[in-house]
Structure 1
Amino acid sequence: MLIDYVPHIAAGAAVTMAVALGSLVVAVVLGLVGAACKLSGSRPLTFLAASYSTLVRGVPELVWLLFLFYGAQILINQTSAAKGWQAVEIDPMMAGITTIGFIFGAYMTETFRGAILAVPRGQIEAGLSLGMSPLRVFGRITLPQMVRFALPGFSNNWMVLIKSTALVSVIGLNDLMHRAAMAKSATRDAFGAYLVVCVVYLLITSVSIGLFRLLELRYSRGVRGVAP
């Protein structure tokens, strides 16, 4: 019966969250770097960052995952064989985290760029005129306000990122979707198996919404027009 497989399916949530959180770290780092490049004023850096965000956002996530996992592995092994090196097998967990992080880094780039641009330029110039270093201005003036402006887009990216982790099942990672597929094959109850997956994802996203709401309230204290 499917009820016997519910704990087995739900246990895949740990793998799903590990992929989601790892991907988020990669995406945030790439997003900050991408935003900095776009706002740097350097044409080569701006071009590279714009090309990255445009190219990545223009190709479906599943295509990127298959391309980077299978395509990169074939290319690496062909190169290794030509050099007489030992064949390399890419770890599915690292492949999933890296690929999803790479994809959402493009979305985070635009989120962070917009948030930085939303900070009043006069405040930054005032900090510099008072003798504050650019790094101190960023930490004391730009960053706190940037976080508030970025939170809505950041939370939306996180919600989509969580749902995108379902794709890692196609490369053999033992996540929620992979476990549900095994339960479906054993019980022939596809509706029930994937209903469990729906419930688990809804629980994760519901908790995420609550946490981001608290963060938005925290960073909106003292701001006019923001409801408590």
Structure 2
Amino acid sequence: MFLHGYFPAILEGLRSTLLISATSLSIACLFGLIGAGAKLSGSRMAGLAADVYTTLIRGLPELVLLLLIFYGGQIMVNALADRAGLGYFDINPFLAGTLTLGFIFGAYLTETFRGAILAIPRGQMEAGKAYGMTQGQILRRIILPQMVRHAIPGFTNNWLVMIKATALLSIIGLDDMVHRANLASATTRAPFTFYATIAGLYLAVTTISILLLGWLERRFSLGVRKVEF
């Protein structure tokens, strides 16, 4: 029997991994946009807070941050709950894991989005103001469409790294593909078979992601002339 009958369980773990990655990416984009906005806002305090956030997160290993935020966050939440007389809270691993990954990769996307916005010629925003556009219209019609085109290469790299980083969440008990492979290999004593299988599945997901995001980049670059040096 293929994979000793554990293949359906591995595929279910793959579904969980993709759900974790997509949820974490949404959270990371939110943190990234807030961070980029803070750095470009002109506010000294907001810029300083964003600088501390990105410098601290990018300077520490993901595994160390994951453990610090997961266990530290749980201790903090339960300390506040105990003070309020609400009792003990057992934080859901999915919620904790996705929030942690989103928070970590939000720091990387902050720089990606900031660089993408800075790549837009300032004259275009000034032209929007001259046409009588509001700040919201300038953001929606001028900044965001062009920001996406400039951000896609960095966004792709962060997405690929995030998919692989989900494997770390098995440490905190999240039922993902790696966790299921661990259980199956412990039962069958065939670790190489299961780890080689999930390695192939990770490679398939990242390859498909590269192809789809490459197509998206070309789509957003239609009508843009590339200058060759």
Q: Is the pair's TM-score, using the shorter chain for normalization, greater than 0.5?
A: yes
> Could you state the TM-score of these two structures normalised by the residue count of structure 1?
0.95
On the 8 A contact 1:10/1:196 being kept in 2, the answer is no
Correspondence for 2:214: 213
Distance 1:212 1:86 in 2: 46
**Per-residue CA distance 1:137-170 (angstroms, 9 max, x = gap):** 1111111111100000001100001101111100
Distance 1:115 1:139 in 2: 15
**Per-residue CA distance 1:191-217 (angstroms, 9 max, x = gap):** 111011101111111111111011011
Runs of 4+ in 1 over 6 A off after TM superposition: none
After TM superposition, list the pairs within 5 Å mapping 1:73-222 onto structure 2. Answer: 73-222=74-223
Aligned length: 227
Correspondence for 1:15: 16
Distance 2:82 2:128 in 1: 57
Distance 2:4 2:207 in 1: 24
**Alpha-carbon shift at residue 6 of structure 1 (Å):** 2.1
- With 105-114 and 62-71 compared, the bigger mean Cα shift is at 62-71
Correspondence for 1:43: 44
> Secondary structure at 1:193's aligned position in 2?
helix
Q: Which amino acid aligns with 1:48?
A: A
Distance 1:166 1:78 in 2: 29
- Structure 2: any 5+ residue segments left out of the alignment? none
Residue identity over aligned pairs, in percent, reads 52
Correspondence for 1:63: 64
On the 8 A contact 2:78/2:88 being kept in 1, the answer is yes
Q: Which amino acid aligns with 1:178?
A: H
**Per-residue CA distance 1:38-93 (angstroms, 9 max, x = gap):** 00111000000111111111111111111122222223334434554310110000
Distance 2:49 2:193 in 1: 46
Distance 2:11 2:19 in 1: 14
Distance 1:28 1:76 in 2: 24
Structure 2 CA distance for partners of 1:184 and 1:226, relative to 1, 3 Å: farther
> Could you state the TM-score of these two structures normalised by the residue count of structure 2?
0.95
> Secondary structure at 1:221's aligned position in 2?
coil
- With 123-132 and 65-74 compared, the bigger mean Cα shift is at 65-74
- Structure 1: any 5+ residue segments left out of the alignment? none
On the 8 A contact 1:69/1:90 being kept in 2, the answer is no
On the 8 A contact 2:32/2:111 being kept in 1, the answer is yes
Distance 2:138 2:77 in 1: 44
Q: Which amino acid aligns with 2:41?
A: S
Distance 2:145 2:86 in 1: 49
**Alpha-carbon shift at residue 11 of structure 1 (Å):** 1.5
> Secondary structure at 1:217's aligned position in 2?
helix
